[in-house]
Amino acid sequence: MTQKIPPACLWKATAMLALLGVAACGKKDDQAAGPPRQGATPVLVGEVVRKDMPVNLRAIGRVTPTQTVTLRPQVTGQIEKVHIRDGQDVKAGDVLFSIDRRPFEVALSEAKAGLTQATAQASNAMEQERRYQTLAKDGAVPQKELETAMANAKSAAGLTSGADATVQKAELNLSYCDVKAPISGRAGRVLADVGNVASAYQTDLVVINQIEPIEVTFAVPEQQLPSLQRGMGTGTLKVNAHTSLPERLDVEGHLEFMDNTVKPNTGTIDMRATFKNDPQVLWPGQYANLSVEVSVDKNAVVAPARAVQPGQESTFVFVVQPDMTVRATNVVVARTVENEAVISEGLQGGEKVVIDGQDRLKDGGKVNIKEGLEPGAPAVKEGATKPVPAPPTKAEPAPASAAKS
């Protein structure tokens, strides 16, 4: 006996079949469309070049003046005039302080008077000696009187020499009343004022530092000794210094001195570099970052340091291919200098490598070089890119009719 299906159940079954048909059609259309297309990744690129790269030894040094002089008077007296200001540049021979000259002028006059008297006595003694020698030849005077006259003449000559030395000393003391700069440099704070009594060799008047040229002292590990010795054997080593100021001003000098002993407690060697320091970039007491050029790698392969990425096994770079895809290439970095990496293996020079956007790339991926960053093109602001065409979209299939099965 056949059971009759109620109309409500028949309607539900028909609706379910229609929905399954729509889902099947949609799945078939999706499979025909394939995976969605993706646009090229915008990146910045740099060029790998070949050029000479210096091998530098880096250190931190302390700037010290070439010469430092604490100026003191050489005679005792009252300061009559101060000719400099605090912090003034001075030249060797400039008069910086004047000491009251009057006492020394009086002493010089006395010394000259004593010299005149001694000269007259010596002249008289010499004349008497000549007279006695003439009389002695005729036997008119005893030999003993002749010897006494000769001794008196020698004594008078000695007194004359002493008086002359006293005059010279008085003249020298008078010249010391003008206290002059022994070196060229920059004066510090003036330590004595007008009216102060300055004691010879005791009173500090001013400190002068010579800062043109200037020196920087530093220490390097003993492991760097062989490379330094090889570099010094080929000639004078160039040293670059830059300050930690925001301007990061650079100056160039040369290695002047390497100590003959490695310090046992630190394992370092003391070094000294000299800089012309014109203009005055380096200042005494300042710290400076130093770079000593010990050798030069000729025709080295150099890539932007930003292009080098760490990998699981080694570092690598993304090399842009002619078809605008990238290839992950393992490289060996010999060293990094500023923003450049010296490559010992993996690159030959002339390649284009990605320097920004690597986190969105994979080996073989398509790239789009950002506007103005191709080799030879002017740089543009960060974020400016070539227009990336949108991938074509497939028209949505028309919805199947609910009555179609």
Tens of pLDDT along 182-199? 999 999 999 999 999 999
CATH dotted code for 73-99+179-204: 2.40.50.100
Strand partners, 297: 53
Domain boundaries, the chain: 41-50+299-369, 56-64+211-298, 73-99+179-204, 102-175
Cβ atoms of residues 302 and 287 within 8 Å: no
User: Which amino acid is residue 276, in one-letter code?
Assistant: K
For β-strands 268-275 and 332-337, DSSP reports them as: unpaired
Question: Measured between alpha carbons, how far is 369 from 355 in angstroms, rounded to an integer?
Answer: 11
Question: Measured between alpha carbons, how far is 81 from 96 in angstroms, rounded to an integer?
Answer: 9
By mean pLDDT, which of 87-101, 245-259, 279-293, 319-333 is the weakest? 245-259
* CA end-to-end distance (rounded Å), the chain: 30
Q: What is the mean pLDDT of the chain?
A: 82
Instruction: Give the DSSP letter of residue 309.
Output: B
Domain at 102-175, CATH class: mainly alpha
pLDDT at 139 over 80: no
Question: Measured between alpha carbons, how far is 356 from 318 in angstroms, rounded to an integer?
Answer: 10
Structure tokens at 91: 């030249």
Spatial CA neighbour of 215 closest among 279, 268, 283, 269 = 283
pLDDT at 19 over 80: no
By mean pLDDT, which of 112-116, 267-271, 362-366, 389-393 is the weakest? 389-393
Spatial CA neighbour of 186 closest among 210, 204, 214 = 210
Structure tokens at 319: 């090399």
Tens of pLDDT along 58-110? 999 999 999 999 999 999 999 999 999 999 999 999 999 999 999 999 999 99
Spatial CA neighbour of 335 closest among 387, 382, 300, 385 = 300
Spatial CA neighbour of 234 closest among 60, 55, 52, 50 = 55
Structure tokens at 367: 């790239």
- Looking at CATH, the fold of the domain delimited by 56-64+211-298 is given as Elongation Factor Tu (Ef-tu); domain 3 (2.40.30)
Question: Measured between alpha carbons, how far is 79 from 71 in angstroms, rounded to an integer?
Answer: 14
pLDDT at 380 over 90: no
Same fold, 56-64+211-298 and 73-99+179-204: no
Structure tokens at 1: 């006996």
Question: Measured between alpha carbons, how far is 361 from 351 in angstroms, rounded to an integer?
Answer: 17
Question: Measured between alpha carbons, how far is 27 from 137 in angstroms, rounded to an integer?
Answer: 154
Question: Measured between alpha carbons, how far is 66 from 214 in angstroms, rounded to an integer?
Answer: 5
Tens of pLDDT along 144-188? 877 788 888 888 888 889 889 999 999 999 999 999 999 999 999
Backbone angles phi, psi at 375, to 5 degrees: -55, 130
> What is the structure's pLDDT at 23?
46
Cβ atoms of residues 84 and 255 within 8 Å: no
Question: Measured between alpha carbons, how far is 324 from 366 in angstroms, rounded to an integer?
Answer: 6
> What is the structure's pLDDT at 401?
36
> What is the structure's pLDDT at 127?
83
For β-strands 340-345 and 287-304, DSSP reports them as: antiparallel
The burial class, CB within 10 Å (0-12 / 13-18 / 19+), for 91 is exposed
Domain at 41-50+299-369, CATH class: mainly beta
Collapsed DSSP state (helix, strand, coil) of residue 20:
helix
Q: What is the CA radius of gyration of the chain?
A: 47
| Residue ranges with strand state E in 162-277 | 178-180, 185-187, 197-198, 206-221, 238-243, 250-262, 268-275
For β-strands 287-304 and 49-71, DSSP reports them as: antiparallel
Residues 166, 171, 174, 178: is their CA dihedral positive or negative? negative
Strand partners, 198: 77
Instruction: Give the DSSP letter of residue 350.
Output: S
pLDDT confidence tier of residue 135, bands split at 50, 70 and 90: confident
Question: Measured between alpha carbons, how far is 22 from 359 in angstroms, rounded to an integer?
Answer: 41
Question: Measured between alpha carbons, how far is 375 from 388 in angstroms, rounded to an integer?
Answer: 20
